[in-house]
Structure 1
Amino acid sequence: MTMIVRDFRPADAEAVAAARRSAFPYLVTTAETVTWEVAGAPAERQYRLLVAEVDGQVVGSSEIGVFHESEEPGLAFANTSVRTDTLGRGVGSALVTAAEEWLAGLGAAKIFAWTVEAPHAVTFAERRGYRRGRSSRVQRLDLTTAALPPLDPHGLPDGVELRTAADFLNDPRPLYEADVECTEDEPDDVPAGRLPYDQWITLTWEHPSLDRELTTVAVVDGTVAAYSVAHTDGRGSYWSGMTGTLRAFRGRGLAKLAKNDALHRARAAGCREAFTGNDGDNQPMLAINKWFGYEPAVTEWRYVRELAA
C-alpha cells in the first residue's frame, strides 16, 4: 500500500465529499461545497484541506485552520474524515499527524476536533491525547412518513408572517442581525466574537448548500423574529443549519412555526430525510425536535487536545 498526505486539488472534490458522507452520513456535503470551502475561506482562518491518497485514490481528508473569530487566541480545529471501508490502515493517523504538526507551527495552543460516539473513533482520539468536551446530538426525521403538524389553515397569529430567505435577496442584513444574536446564545466550547457582516455573507449567505427557498423566516410586524435555515444536497437530504428566535420574541412558538413551514417546504421539494444537530445542553431545541418526531441518529463529541501539555 502506498499512501501520501498532500494538499487538496480541485479534482479531489468528489472523492473528499464521498469520504465525508461515508464517515458522517447525515452531513449535507457535495463536491461543490468542498471546493467552495477551500476557495472561500477568509485568509485569517488559515484554512487548509489535507487529503490522504492510497494507491492513487483519495480516501480521507482533514480540514484544518484557526478560529480567527474567537476571543481567545491560539484555538484551532482539525476535523478528519476517513472512508469507512479504509479504516484501520493508518489513514486517520497520517492525516491527524500532519494536521497537528502544521497547526503547532502556526502557534496553536488547543486543537478541537469532532468525532462520532463509536468505539474506534473515541479510542483513536483519546489515545492521541484528546479529551472529551461538549456533545452534539444528531437527529433524523423521515420526511416520507413523518406526521408533520399541519400548516394552520386558519392563518397565523396577528402580526406574524412567514417568508423565505429568498425574500431578502436585496438586503439580507436583517437575517444577519438575527443570526448573530441567536448564535451568541448557542452553547459552545469556543468563545466567539461577532462575525463581521462581510464574512457572514461569504460564509453563511453564499454557502452553496443554503436553500433560500426552503429557509423560513418568521416576521412579526415587519421585524425578523425567528428563522429556520435549510441546507440541501440535491440527493434528498435536508439539514437544519440553524433554528433560532431573537430574545425579544422567545416563548411565542415562533421557532416551531418557522421550522414546521421549512420542513413542509422540504418535503414538497422532494427531500426524503431531515437531519439536525443540537448541543447536548440545548434543551429547548432538543424538545422542539422531539415534538416534531425527530429520532436520535448519532452523538458527536467535540474533543480537544492542548498542545502545550
Structure 2
Amino acid sequence: MHIVISEFMDEAAVAALRADFDVRYEPDLVDRRDALLAALADADALIVRNRTRVDAALLAAGPGLKAVGRLGVGLDNIDVPACQAGGIAVLPATGANARAVAEYVMATALMLLRGAYQSSAQVAAGAWPRTELSNGLEAQERTLGIVGFGGIGRLAASLAQGLGMQVAAHDPLLRDEDPAWRATGVQALPLDALLARADVLTLHIPLTDATRNLLDAGRLASMKRGAVLINTARGGIVDEAALAQALRSGHLRGAAIDVFQDEPLPAGSPLADAPNLVLTPHIAGLTQEANTRVSGMVAQRVAQALQAR
C-alpha cells in the first residue's frame, strides 16, 4: 500500500510507516499542487498538516484513498463530508499537541500581563525604562476566560489554576450540568458574560459559519477594558482590523495571535503595526515533543486504518 505525505512529519514516524508501506514523503508537495495530485493516483492514504487543501479536486485525483491523516486537530482544510461520502477515514491527532498549545497560552498571557519583555533593545542601548515598566500585572486572582472547553481548554485551565488564576469558560456543546465543570472547578458562563469578566481570553474553537468573526468590533468592545486576547484556534474567528483598532485605542492591553485569516500574513495587514501584539506563524501546537506525539499518533492511526481494509 502507498502513503503520500505532503507536509512536514517527524522522521521517526515516517520511518515507522516505511517499515510496512511504500511511502512518498516530500514536505514541499503542499506547494506543488500539480505534483501532489499526480502523486495521489495510486495512493491509499494521504497525510497532511493544515496547508494541504483536501478538496474535491484532490479527492478526485486519489480514487484509491482510504485514509487522510491530519498532523494536528483542525479540519477546516479537509472536506470531511466528501471524505465520509467516499468512505475515506479522516484521522486527526486529537490531544497530541494540547500541552504545547496550553503552554503557549500561558506564556503569552504572562508576558502580556507583565508588559516588560519588549524592552531589550532599549536597555541594550543604554535606556532605563524602569518607571514605565513597573506597572505590570500579576496573573494571580485574575480571570482566564476560555472559549471552547475541550482538551486544550481544560489543560490551559489547569495551568492557570496552578498560577492562582480564577477560570471561567463558555462552550455551547456542554450543558451547565456537565460533570466537566465540577471536575475542573471551572465556572460555565454565557459568552457575553465571559467577555465582560475575563482578564485573559483564549480561544479554542473550530472555524465554522457560526464562529466566523465571532469576535467582531462589537464583541471586542464588550471585553473587559485592559484585557488580553489570545487566539491559537483559527484565523477568521477574530476580526483582525477590529482587533488592531482595539489595541491602538488601548481598550485591550495586548494580544497574541498565532493564526490568521490569510496565512502567511499579507503585506499591509492592519495587525502589522498594532501595539502590544505578539504575532507567531501558526506554531502554538508545534514543539519538539508535540511533533513527536502528533506524528506518532497519526502514523499509528493511518497504519491501523489501512491494515483493517
Q: What TM-score does the superposition give when structure 2 sets the normalisation length?
A: 0.27
Pick the structure with greater CA Rg: 2
Q: Which of 1 and 2 has higher RCO (CA within 8 Å, sep 6+)?
A: 1
